[in-house]
């Protein structure tokens, strides 16, 4: 057991990662979880239940170890209209491949108690544009990297009912980069004019924190063919602190040597609560049908306030970005078919509601409601299981009402899609 845990802990060095989901939630807990989250929440089946509903650990005999990775490839464009000239520009986000790794171990202590440990990412974000794109005065880079360490325990009360409780230890890292229109602020041109300017100052804020949360789960099997599951993952409060770096052109440095100088900063942030509900029904010996609803309480993200140790410009020591996000649902329905004793095929559809408030949309998180179609295949033989999955994500186009004072312009989020390939390997001892 000690050797297995050491191997999993080594993955923590690269488990802090970024992805692309509604808001900045991630649901890529495992290859099977990408296509069958409902089944894992309700019925269980592999060690990644630690991510979804740890109460389902009680269905995993002995000791089991799983490692996996999801590779997400997003594509998106933003159309902007210059409020001063009317010129329309379409900018494509930077093409990137975002890895989302995960690892789990479960161990049956006796007939009633199971222990588990997981390393994964429940939140992450990667939104990058060229540094000189029209929306640069709002954002050209927003990166959130998070990694969870999750020790948990499950209790099988009887053959029908199991419960679980666990601790979440989350490392949270955030980087925000944008330009500051010094020429516009000085009255030399229209403020936040998207046109190129040689007097732009580059602002980069990078900070992190470690904090704690709780996870609770329950699994109920009223009859042999039906499983019901529910899980609660608590909100976590962070106070990120870090360095603020400003890179000034020589002309700006000569005129404003005492402003926009590097300093420390801090900001409070909440990762939201998540409530997961699911049912799984063995309709026949081969067919299993499942459905789930995940409710994310994004209303905790009402604004982002950054406090600076020293005033950064014209006496300002604080900047505020209003968010006022909404609580949202993620709905999934899926089916699994046992082809034979070794192979199982899976498919599902997911609707992922966006939490963005249309009145305060910015370029930190471009996008709207999402539709996902997923396919999966499981190979199981002896003590090994390998899961493969793929999903295609379509993001609904979204109109943007401009707020030039915030560097946001009339336009549209458009052509947003994502492909994701995943594989997980499970070993049973």
Q: What is the pLDDT of residues 344-378, one digit of tens each?
A: 999 999 999 999 999 999 998 877 899 999 999 99
Residue 317 is predicted with a pLDDT of: 86
Q: Quote the pLDDT of residue 4.
A: 44
Helix (H, G, I), strand (E, B) or coil at 140: coil
* 292 DSSP β-pair partners: 278, 332
Position 13 pLDDT exceeds 50:
no
User: At residue 230, does pLDDT exceed 50?
Assistant: yes
| Token code pair at residue 362 | 């910015």
pLDDT-derived band at 177, boundaries 50, 70, 90 = very high
**Parent domain of 131:** 2-428
Which CATH number goes with the domain that contains 153? 2.40.160.60
pTM for this model (two decimals): 0.91
pLDDT tops 50 at residue 12: no
* Per-residue model confidence (pLDDT) at position 20: 54
pLDDT band at 8 (very low <50, low <70, confident <90, very high): very low
Domain count for the chain: 1
* DSSP H stretches of helix in 201-265: 250-255
Cα 95 from Cα 128, distance rounded (Å) = 9
* Res. 9: pLDDT tops 50: no
Tell me what the pLDDT averaged over the chain comes to: 91
**Phi, psi of 34, rounded to the nearest 5 degrees:** -70, -25
Q: Which one, of 82, 249, 99, 239, lies nearest residue 174 by Cα?
A: 239
pLDDT, tens digit, for every residue of 307-353? 998 887 667 788 888 899 999 999 999 999 999 999 999 999 999 99
pLDDT in tens, 158-170: 999 999 999 999 9
pLDDT at 269: 87
Range of lowest pLDDT (98-107, 112-121, 271-280, 357-366): 357-366
Q: Which residues of 41-52 are buried (b: 16+ CB within 10 A; e: fewer)?
A: bbbbbbbbbbbb
């Amino acid at each position: 057991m000690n050797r297995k845990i050491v191997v999993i802990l080594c993955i923590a060095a690269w488990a802090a990662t970024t992805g692309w989901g509604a808001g900045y939630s991630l649901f890529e807990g495992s290859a099977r979880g990408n296509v069958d989250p409902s089944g894992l929440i309700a019925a269980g089946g592999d060690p990644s239940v630690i991510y979804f509903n740890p109460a389902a650990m009680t269905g995993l005999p002995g000791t089991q170890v799983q490692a996996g990775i999801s590779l997400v490839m997003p594509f998106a464009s933003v159309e902007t209209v210059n409020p001063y000239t009317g010129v329309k520009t379409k900018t494509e986000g930077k093409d990137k491949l975002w890895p989302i790794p995960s690892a789990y171990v479960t161990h049956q202590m006796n007939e009633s108690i199971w222990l588990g440990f997981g390393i994964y990412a429940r939140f992450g974000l990667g939104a990058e544009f060229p540094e000189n794109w029209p929306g640069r005065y709002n954002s050209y880079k927003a990166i959130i990297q998070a990694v969870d360490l999750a020790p948990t325990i499950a209790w099988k009360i009887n053959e029908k009912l199991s419960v679980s409780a666990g601790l979440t230890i989350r490392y949270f890292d955030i980087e925000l980069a944008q330009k500051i229109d010094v020429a516009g602020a000085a009255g030399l041109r229209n403020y936040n004019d998207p046109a190129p300017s040689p007097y732009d100052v580059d602002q980069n804020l990078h900070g992190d924190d470690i904090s704690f949360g709780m996870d609770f789960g329950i699994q109920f099997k009223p009859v042999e063919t039906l499983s019901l599951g529910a899980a609660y993952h608590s909100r976590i409060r962070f106070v990120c602190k870090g360095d603020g770096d400003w890179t000034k052109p020589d002309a700006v440095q000569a005129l404003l040597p005492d402003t926009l100088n590097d300093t420390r900063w801090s900001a409070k942030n909440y990762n939201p609560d998540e409530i997961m509900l699911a049912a799984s029904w063995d309709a026949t010996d081969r067919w299993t049908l499942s459905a789930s609803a995940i409710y994310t309480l994004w209303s905790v993200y009402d604004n982002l306030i950054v406090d600076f140790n020293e005033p950064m410009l014209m006496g300002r020591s604080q900047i505020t970005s209003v968010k006022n996000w909404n609580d949202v649902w993620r709905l999934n329905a899926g089916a699994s078919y046992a082809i034979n004793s070794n192979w199982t095929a899976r498919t599902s559809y997911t609707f992922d509601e966006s939490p963005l408030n249309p009145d305060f949309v910015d370029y930190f998180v471009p996008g709207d409601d999402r539709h996902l179609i997923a396919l999966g295949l499981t190979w199981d033989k002896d003590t090994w299981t390998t899961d493969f999955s793929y999903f295609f994500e379509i993001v609904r186009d979204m109109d943007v009402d401009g707020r030039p004072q915030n560097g946001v312009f009339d336009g549209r989020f458009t052509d947003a899609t994502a492909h994701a390939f995943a594989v997980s390997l499970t070993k049973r001892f």
